[in-house]
Amino acid sequence: MNASSRIGGWRSVGAVIVALALAALACGGEVEPTATPLPRPTQRPVATATKNAPDPTARPSATVESSLLDLEPYAHPSGAFNVDLPAGWTQEDFDSRVLVTSPDAVVAIDITFYNAGQPLDADSLSNFIHAVEDGWFASFPNYEAGDLEPQSDGSIGVAKTLELRSGTPQTVLSYYWQDANVIYETDFWVDSDAYADYVDGLLEVVNSMTTDPAEGAKVDVYSIIYTFTGPNSFFEFSVPFGWTYANDTPENMVVDTFTAPDSQSFIENVTYNDGQLVDDIGAFAKQLLTDYYNLDDVEITSEEEQPDAGIRLDWTSASSGLVGETFVERRDTSTAVLVLTWMVTEDARDLYLPVWDYLLKTYAIPEPE
């Protein structure tokens, strides 16, 4: 059995059976999830590297810019890529990105690269692209996207329409491609009524791009992140774009899951509330690992009390080839119990440990609004 299929078998026990097993430790009520947050990507650890789309509120009508084809060479400071960009456009450099905007704000070119830590196979790359599309572009109003379209140069194109926060209709062309361990993404944002005027020049830009994945691989793995806020604002933490998000609501539970593109790792928070106070949260977490994740041979290798009165469990499962860490805590004076778990195949632990470490570093209880 390969790693992906092992991870894919996390929960073969039905949700009803799991709920009954956990009810041996607590029973009653339910926690409702909040609305899915609108992600605002940043690049760790540079907090100012915000990946917001251009959103002008007033500007002149679109005109054909002759400077669009007046391209000049650009080298990203990281050395990860070179590209010809329009001269005279506003330029913002970030650790893994460059954003350039036309003088009239009708067009923006956003080039980003991600260190995946390893080459992704076709399915994993597709998972990555769908996760970025769903997590970022789909957060804009009236998002509609076409299929993933393989290009003759080996890239994958995705065309979509959406609206900026100001209500301006946009046509967005995105091209994703992989070079060794690094995934490159080029996004062209164009006012829809000006798309025909600019498309040829934008294709000229993307065709000029060259890459150096050895330099691109020097940034942290999956360093383009956003802040996720859990149900009832019980918690928030930073998670990577490119990891697939899913939400499930079995009885008395809200389950938020983030899965790596290659399915060798996932991070999951279970918020459980049946209206009764759970006396032994350590036993509760162990029950969850055994029954909900169907890991009959879980061995707890370390159990530590935490400063917030929670408990950390380090564990292994020999039969599945998985290792993991689980944090369990109560929230305030409510009857809710939070169980945060990182699960990963043994071979991929070192690769994905920085993602988990950064999530824990950013874990916080949101301030009341």
Q: Are residues 112 and 139 in the same domain?
A: yes
Q: Are residues 242 and 337 in the same domain?
A: yes
Is the pLDDT assigned to residue 217 strictly greater than 70?
A: yes
| Cβ 348 vs Cβ 124: under 8 Å | no
Q: Are residues 212 and 229 in the same domain?
A: no
Which structural domain range is residue 301 located in? 3-39+221-362
What's the pLDDT score for residue 28? 34
Point out the least confidently predicted range of 6-20, 30-44, 98-112, 295-309: 30-44
| Cβ 183 vs Cβ 117: under 8 Å | no
Tell me the per-residue pLDDT of 141-162, one tens digit each, with 9 for 90 and over: 999 999 999 998 899 999 999 9
Q: Are residues 110 and 257 in the same domain?
A: no
- Quote the number of domains for the chain: 2
Tell me the per-residue pLDDT of 262-276, one tens digit each, with 9 for 90 and over: 999 999 999 999 888
Q: Which of 332, 369, 363, 367 is nearest to 31 (CA)?
A: 332
Q: Find which of 174-178, 232-236, 249-253 is predicted with most confidence, using mean pLDDT.
A: 174-178
- Mean pLDDT score of the chain: 83
- From 216, 236, 261, the end of a domain falls on 216
- From 199, 216, 233, the end of a domain falls on 216
What's the pLDDT score for residue 231? 87
What's the pLDDT score for residue 56? 34
Residue 369 lies in a domain: no
Q: Which of 90, 92, 93 is nearest to 105 (CA)?
A: 90
Better-scored residue on pLDDT, 1 or 277: 277
Residue 265: other Cβ atoms inside 10 A? 25
Rounded to an integer, the average pLDDT of 327-331 is 90
| Cβ 47 vs Cβ 108: under 8 Å | no
Q: Which amino acid belongs to residue 220? A: D
What's the pLDDT score for residue 248? 93
Counting residues of the chain whose pLDDT is more than 70, the rounded percentage is: 80
What's the pLDDT score for residue 9? 40
Is the pLDDT assigned to residue 243 strictly greater than 80?
A: yes
- Name, in order, each residue with C-beta under 8 angstroms of 369's C-beta and a sequence gap of 6 or more: none
Is the pLDDT assigned to residue 169 strictly greater than 90?
A: yes
Q: Are residues 197 and 114 in the same domain?
A: yes
CA distance 318 to 329: 26
CA within 13 Å, CB half, 263 = 15
Strands (E), 130-222: 144-145, 149-150, 156-163, 169-179, 182-191, 210-211
Q: Are residues 280 and 329 in the same domain?
A: yes
CATH of the domain at 84: 3.40.1000.10
Residue 173 lies in a domain: yes
- Number of residues in the chain: 369
Q: How many Å from the N-terminal Cα to the C-terminal Cα in the chain?
A: 48
- From 180, 198, 216, the end of a domain falls on 216
What's the pLDDT score for residue 69? 59
